[in-house]
């Protein structure tokens, strides 16, 4: 029985020059001598082939994010945090991308959501001279990489719209190196920069807008130290709607006369799956690292999380929320949270669904790191099909002085709820009828009163909320800038 298939394509040359050809090597050596291949080595170290025919945008972004050593803050496989196409789904469902590809604006949105610093331009927003300067900028640096989206037809290649990173530049020949992520089709190749500009200066039929390029670099610090929003579940759309539309309406239409009343109307109307939307991050300890003492790297990450947690606990809003939650019988113990987290930890260590695990017991222990500072490790015994597995989680904590002895405080629902309210736009509370109460609420959520670390954490969540709103309103093709506050 016959089977129709393809094994690669011959690269049309000219206009392109195969990177591995004699001429391609010569162009590379010339550029290397001139210092315009600095970004190449980082990119080639993390270069990958797109795993689906329509995943060129996702693969290009994965390559660049990993080349920049940006920590995704969530697992890929096993215990490893690593960017993969399968994780880039917050702006467009993967099934939709697999079927029809992804637009320029949504790749920009994904880069923002992943914690990168992004500058994006369509060809009608800049010039070829500026584009050449940007190519030069990224080619002479290890800290900035470019992704281009272009039409293959200009290079006499089969196919239409495509994404790939730009791996280098030969200034004397005015040629750019395209690291084609569709390696099953074409190898990396050099093209005249003017022709690349022409290929970008084409209309994407799916959006009716011109293609372009984006510059991606590292942020000043890793985003989302302790808290993050999750869009893995489709329910995020209804939750985002609740936060954006329902909360302002509730606090303006209800007869609210105190902060407790505001918290009551907001908390009691929360969607049932709200806890899947915002989460605190516990780190799984790898089996070979589960020694008694923390490593310097573990201790450094833990210290940063503990500073953020302490700063949350010291806010006046946290005190209001803790008091309110205690009056409604809300309970959120470390044991319960750790049991769920240990099942998730077992999932990422084994690759099996956490629904297949149950946690038989948990044990909280203190371990020491450099300088004898303590950290908290939760060990859970999880059971699946009669077999047991130990899972260790590194959990941040703060200390509260009491009459008998210091009491440890761990991440819980009250601090998660606190940072989410802090992350809501200030205008959320503008509809409160009582002017004095409105001013009190605005003071409670004021960024100016927050310490620096907590400010950055809240701003990260606020950026995530704004990007989700942009996607929900289908404005990601119009606005490329990172949300500004």
Instruction: Given the residues 145, 151, 180, 201, select the one marked as catalytic.
Output: 180
180 flagged as catalytic: yes
Is the Cα dihedral 352, 358, 360, 365 positive or negative?
positive
289 flagged as catalytic: no
- Cα–Cα distance between 242 and 266 in angstroms, integer? 10
- Cα–Cα distance between 76 and 65 in angstroms, integer? 14
The phi, psi pair for 402, rounded to 5°, reads -140, 175
Residue 288: how many other CB atoms lie within 10 Å = 6
**344-368 burial code (b ≥16 CB/10 A, e <16):** bbbbbbbeeebeebebeebebeebe
- Cα–Cα distance between 147 and 67 in angstroms, integer? 13
174 flagged as catalytic: no
Could you identify the residue written with the tokens 């371990």? 367
SS3 376: strand
Alpha helices in 101-155 (DSSP H): 104-113, 128-139
Instruction: Given the residues 162, 189, 320, 460, select the one marked as catalytic.
Output: 162
Alpha helices in 186-315 (DSSP H): 193-200, 236-241, 247-253, 259-268, 296-313
Determine whether 142 is exposed, middle or buried from the number of CB atoms within 10 Å of its CB (0-12, 13-18, 19+). Answer: middle
- Cα–Cα distance between 190 and 173 in angstroms, integer? 10
Instruction: Given the residues 56, 90, 113, 342, select the one marked as catalytic.
Output: 56
Which CA distances in Å does 442 have to 259, 436, 438?
A: 11, 10, 6
Could you identify the residue written with the tokens 């915002």? 278
Would you state the structure tokens that stand for residue 318, as one six-digit string? 């946290």
C-beta of residue 63 within 8 angstroms of C-beta of residue 111: no
Q: Which residues are catalytic?
A: 56, 162, 180
């Amino acid at each position: 029985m016959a089977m129709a298939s393809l094994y690669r394509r011959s690269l049309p040359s000219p206009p392109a020059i195969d990177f591995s050809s004699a001429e391609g090597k010569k162009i590379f050596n010339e550029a290397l001598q001139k210092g315009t291949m600095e970004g190449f080595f980082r990119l080639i170290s993390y270069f990958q082939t797109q795993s689906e025919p329509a995943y060129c945008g996702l693969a290009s972004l994965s390559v660049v994010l990993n080349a920049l050593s940006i920590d995704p803050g969530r697992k890929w496989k096993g215990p490893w945090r690593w960017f993969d196409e399968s994780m880039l789904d917050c702006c467009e469902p993967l099934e939709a991308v697999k079927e029809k590809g992804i637009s320029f604006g949504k790749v920009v949105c994904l880069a923002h959501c992943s914690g990168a610093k992004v500058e994006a331009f369509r060809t009608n927003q800049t010039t070829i001279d500026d584009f050449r300067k940007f190519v030069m900028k990224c080619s002479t640096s290890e800290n900035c990489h470019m992704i281009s989206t272009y039409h293959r037809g200009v290079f006499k290649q089969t196919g239409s719209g495509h994404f790939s990173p730009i791996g280098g530049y030969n200034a004397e020949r005015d040629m750019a190196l395209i690291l084609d992520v569709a390696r099953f089709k074409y190898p990396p190749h050099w093209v005249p920069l003017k022709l690349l500009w022409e290929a970008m200066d084409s209309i994407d039929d799916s959006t009716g807008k011109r293609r372009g390029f984006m510059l991606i670099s590292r942020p000043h610090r890793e985003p989302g130290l302790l808290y993050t929003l999750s869009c893995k579940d489709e329910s995020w759309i209804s939750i985002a709607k609740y936060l954006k539309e329902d909360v302002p309406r509730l606090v303006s239409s209800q007869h609210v006369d105190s902060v407790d009343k505001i918290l009551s109307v907001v908390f009691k109307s929360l969607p049932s799956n709200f806890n899947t939307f915002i989460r605190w991050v516990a780190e799984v300890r790898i089996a070979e690292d589960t020694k008694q003492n923390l490593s310097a790297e573990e201790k450094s990450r833990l210290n940063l999380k503990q500073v953020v947690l302490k700063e949350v606990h010291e806010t006046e809003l946290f005190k209001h929320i803790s008091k309110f939650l205690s009056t409604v019988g809300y309970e959120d113990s470390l044991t319960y949270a750790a049991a769920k987290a240990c099942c998730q930890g077992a999932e990422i260590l084994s690759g099996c669904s956490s629904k297949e695990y149950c946690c038989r017991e948990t044990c909280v222990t203190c371990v020491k790191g450099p300088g004898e500072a303590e950290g908290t490790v939760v060990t859970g015994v999880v059971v699946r099909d009669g077999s047991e597995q130990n899972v260790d989680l590194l959990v941040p904590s703060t200390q509260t002085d009491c009459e008998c002895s210091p009491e440890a405080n761990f991440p819980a629902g009250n601090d998660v709820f606190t940072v989410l309210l802090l992350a809501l736009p200030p205008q959320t509370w503008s509809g409160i009828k009582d002017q004095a109460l409105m001013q009190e609420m605005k003071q409670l959520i004021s960024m100016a009163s927050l310490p620096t670390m907590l400010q950055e954490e809240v701003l990260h969540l606020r950026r995530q909320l704004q990007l989700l709103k942009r996607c929900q309103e289908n404005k990601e093709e119009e606005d490329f800038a990172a949300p500004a506050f």
